[in-house]
Amino acid sequence: MAAPSSLFSHDGDDHRLKINRNTDTDTASLIFQSNFSGRAEFGLAGEDAWSVKVSPNGSNWQTALRAQSATGEVDFPNGLSVSGGDRFDHFESGTWVPTLSGSNGGAQPSYAAQDGNFIRIGNFVFVSGRLGWSAPGNLDGQLRISDLPFPCEAGLQNRTALNMAWYDGLSLPTNATQLGGFIEPGTDTVRLWGAVNAYEGINLIMQTSHLGQSGIMYFSCIYRA
């Protein structure tokens, strides 16, 4: 049929267009062409999953979307992106083991708790943790939380704040109003700081000497990997 349009109408009430294939490995699909060269296809292409495929030349095809017939689960084999370039082609969840470290090294503390969870969607990482120590060890220099599940993306614009939900066993300076931190871009470490007269924007970088003989911290943050 060669025409500017076509119409399939009902004979009674409903109308369903059926495309049947012989076996599960055959294809039942619709192809959209440009000058008789394929550019897009959707349907059952050699499997039970419903897929959408695209091509720049009619020969090389990429699967943009696939919906599994058994579960209805949808995946994007070549990734998913939104305006601005952020990609969501990676999903992962799991646990991680937070540690304390000093900028100048030293012996590690003895730990009473090292619990961490993370979810990664594309290049965004959501982490939470519980870190407790029963002896401070001999750490030296600036106090840090280390071994995040993924390094933070480089660039000062990616220096992300860490939220401290609750802590005990850290000797904050006089007039300190809160404990927080930020992830150092290009690393897997969080530098801790105490806010002194927070309304004036004065921060004190925490030192390993602020560690008590025992203590615990609960924290969370979101950052770009």
166 and 208 in a single domain? The answer is yes
67 and 164 in a single domain? The answer is no
Q: Which of 36, 53, 78 is the last residue of a domain?
A: 78
Q: Does 13 reside within a domain?
A: no
The answer to whether residues 149 and 127 touch, using CB atoms and an 8 Å cutoff, is: yes
Spatial separation of the C-alpha atoms in residues 103 and 123, rounded to whole Å = 27
Q: Residue 156 — left, alpha, or beta (φ > 0 → left; ψ -120 to 50 → alpha)? A: alpha
Burial class (CB in 10 A: 0-12, 13-18, 19+), 167: middle
119 and 182 in a single domain? The answer is yes
Residue 197: the pLDDT is 67
32 and 121 in a single domain? The answer is no
Q: pLDDT digit string (tens) for 165-181?
A: 999 998 876 667 778 89
Q: Does 211 reside within a domain?
A: yes
In 3-state terms, what secondary structure has residue 181? strand
70 and 136 in a single domain? The answer is no
Strand partners, 205: 193
Which secondary-structure segment (H or E) carries 220? Answer: strand 211-224
Which residue is associated with the tokens 């349009």? 5
Question: How many CB atoms neighbour CB 24 within 10 A?
Answer: 10
pLDDT tens string, the chain, 225 residues long: the values are: 889 999 999 988 999 999 999 999 999 999 999 999 999 999 999 999 999 999 999 999 999 999 999 999 988 888 776 665 666 667 889 999 999 999 998 888 999 999 999 999 888 999 999 999 999 999 999 999 999 999 999 999 999 999 999 999 988 766 677 788 999 999 999 999 887 765 666 678 889 998 999 999 999 999 999
Residue 84: the pLDDT is 58
Phi, psi of 114 (to 5 degrees): -145, 80
Strand partners, 119: 93, 126
The answer to whether residues 89 and 77 touch, using CB atoms and an 8 Å cutoff, is: no
Residue 201: the pLDDT is 62
141 and 110 in a single domain? The answer is yes
Residue 122: the pLDDT is 83
Question: What are the structure tokens assigned to 9, written together?
Answer: 């109408």
Residue 91: the pLDDT is 81
The answer to whether residues 56 and 64 touch, using CB atoms and an 8 Å cutoff, is: no
Phi, psi of 169 (to 5 degrees): 95, 20
Query: What pTM did the predictor assign?
Result: 0.66
The answer to whether residues 52 and 61 touch, using CB atoms and an 8 Å cutoff, is: no
59 and 132 in a single domain? The answer is no
In 3-state terms, what secondary structure has residue 91? strand
Counting the structural domains of the chain, the total is 2
Q: Does 15 reside within a domain?
A: no
CA distances from 194 to 115, 142, 168 (A): 23, 12, 13
Q: State the residue range of the domain holding 53.
A: 27-78
Phi, psi of 79 (to 5 degrees): 95, 165
